[in-house]
């Protein structure tokens, strides 16, 4: 019965987001303008649907229930995206085997060598897994023609800092060392992720440069970069736009222990005093109605000031979480496809 309810729910969700634009505009309500930006109409309708459904905020639930809710929400938003092949694998780490999933796009399913994106999911270091970001990884792989290796790193509060950082670094090193086994060019390995995964990717890129491990590119999608400074966007968008203050507070309180320093550069990468030479070029993506917008853009400017090649792309009408909305609507899927095209240009131009 649960399966049928889920199927019906998914169909209704797709239908609601697939209505003609003029109908969606009327249903969404008057255009919302804040900080000189207009909220994307389908996104405004999505937020209204969430309120109408009385969907409880994830942070208000017990953590196991919140994790289940996130899997359900991302499955609805992501849909079922095509992919040439997927394979669940285990990656050895000092803490034990880590689950991972390798996505091979149709373009290279014959074994052709490609670039690789080591993908680190978001979720505040508390939520998220291989399934919450499955749809996005499929779309990135297919559109960019790159293999994607998603890592299921340890989560807080069961495993506090630096468990997630250490797992992601171990997984990244393993991917580079086993590039030939993965049919990957070791000089075209990138790291990337969204939100918490963007933060973890930034740390991995810095570790790679310091250790002399190849890293061709870093894809940072609305990364959390600063746990010390309260930015203007954190104040402006702290409620009503999916990612809220309660979630952010729960995330940092779960991730950091009493003795951990929020100003540690491996916790707040924005506070890195000196970036290593040969730090990988970065694409930093932000959303206009996201509490994390300003710190992501500040980090992009900090990288640029340090001489790191950076492209900053803001999607002014979107909210935090748009990277997972690839199975419904049009605007967010088009944005993720655009991001995939930039990834392709960076590490897979000939495929």
Number of domains present in the structure of the chain: 1
Closest CA to 204 of 188, 221, 192: 192
C-alpha–C-alpha distance, residues 213 and 204, integer Å: 10
For position 330, which CATH number holds?
Answer: 3.40.50.1820
Note the pLDDT of residue 8. Answer: 65
C-alpha–C-alpha distance, residues 298 and 75, integer Å: 32
Domain containing residue 21 = 2-347
What are the helix (H) ranges across the chain? Answer: 2-17, 21-28, 41-52, 63-78, 134-144, 163-177, 196-211, 232-236, 245-255, 293-305, 331-347
- The length of the chain in residues reads 351
C-alpha–C-alpha distance, residues 276 and 279, integer Å: 6
Q: At 308, is the secondary structure helix, strand, or coil?
A: coil
C-alpha–C-alpha distance, residues 326 and 129, integer Å: 17
| Count of CB atoms situated within 10 Å of the CB of 210 | 13
Note the pLDDT of residue 3. Answer: 42
Note the pLDDT of residue 54. Answer: 84
pLDDT profile of the chain (351 residues), mean per 10: 52 77 88 96 92 89 96 92 97 97 97 96 97 98 97 98 98 98 97 98 98 98 96 95 95 94 97 96 98 98 98 98 92 96 90 56
DSSP conformation class of 336: H
CA 34-39-40 angle, to 5 degrees, is 165
Active-site residue list: 195, 290, 320
C-alpha–C-alpha distance, residues 26 and 42, integer Å: 11
pTM of the model: 0.95
């Amino acid at each position: 019965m649960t399966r049928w309810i889920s199927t019906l729910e998914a169909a209704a969700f797709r239908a609601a987001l697939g209505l003609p634009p003029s109908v969606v505009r009327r249903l969404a309500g008057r255009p919302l303008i804040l900080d000189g930006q207009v909220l994307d109409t389908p996104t405004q309708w999505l937020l209204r649907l969430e309120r109408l459904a009385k969907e409880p905020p994830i942070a208000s639930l017990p953590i196991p229930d919140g994790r289940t809710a996130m899997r359900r929400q991302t499955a609805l938003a992501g849909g079922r995206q095509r992919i040439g092949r997927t394979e669940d694998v285990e990656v050895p780490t000092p803490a034990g085997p880590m689950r991972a999933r390798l996505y091979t796009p149709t373009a290279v399913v014959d074994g052709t060598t490609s670039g690789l994106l080591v993908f680190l999911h978001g979720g505040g270091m508390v939520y998220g897994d291989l399934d919450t970001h499955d749809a996005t990884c499929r779309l990135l792989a297919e559109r960019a023609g790159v293999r994607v290796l998603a890592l299921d790193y340890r989560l807080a509060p069961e495993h506090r800092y630096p468990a997630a950082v250490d797992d992601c670094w171990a997984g990244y090193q393993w991917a580079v060392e086993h590039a030939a086994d993965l049919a990957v060019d070791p000089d075209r390995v990138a790291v990337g992720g969204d939100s918490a995964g963007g933060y973890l990717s930034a740390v991995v890129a810095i570790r790679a440069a310091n250790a002399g491990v190849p890293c061709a590119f870093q894809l940072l999608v609305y990364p959390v970069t600063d746990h010390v400074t309260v930015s203007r966007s954190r104040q402006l968008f702290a409620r009503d736009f999916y990612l809220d203050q309660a979630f952010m507070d729960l995330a940092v309180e779960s991730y950091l222990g009493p003795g951990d320093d929020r100003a540690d550069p491996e916790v707040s990468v924005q506070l890195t005093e000196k970036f290593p030479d040969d730090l990988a070029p970065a694409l930093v993506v932000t959303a206009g109605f996201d509490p994390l917008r300003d710190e992501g853009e500040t980090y992009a400017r900090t990288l640029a000031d340090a001489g790191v090649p950076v492209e900053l792309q803001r999607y002014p009408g979107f909210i935090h979480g748009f990277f997972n909305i690839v199975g419904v609507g049009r605007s967010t899927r088009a944005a993720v496809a655009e991001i995939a095209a930039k990834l392709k240009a960076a590490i897979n131009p000939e495929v």
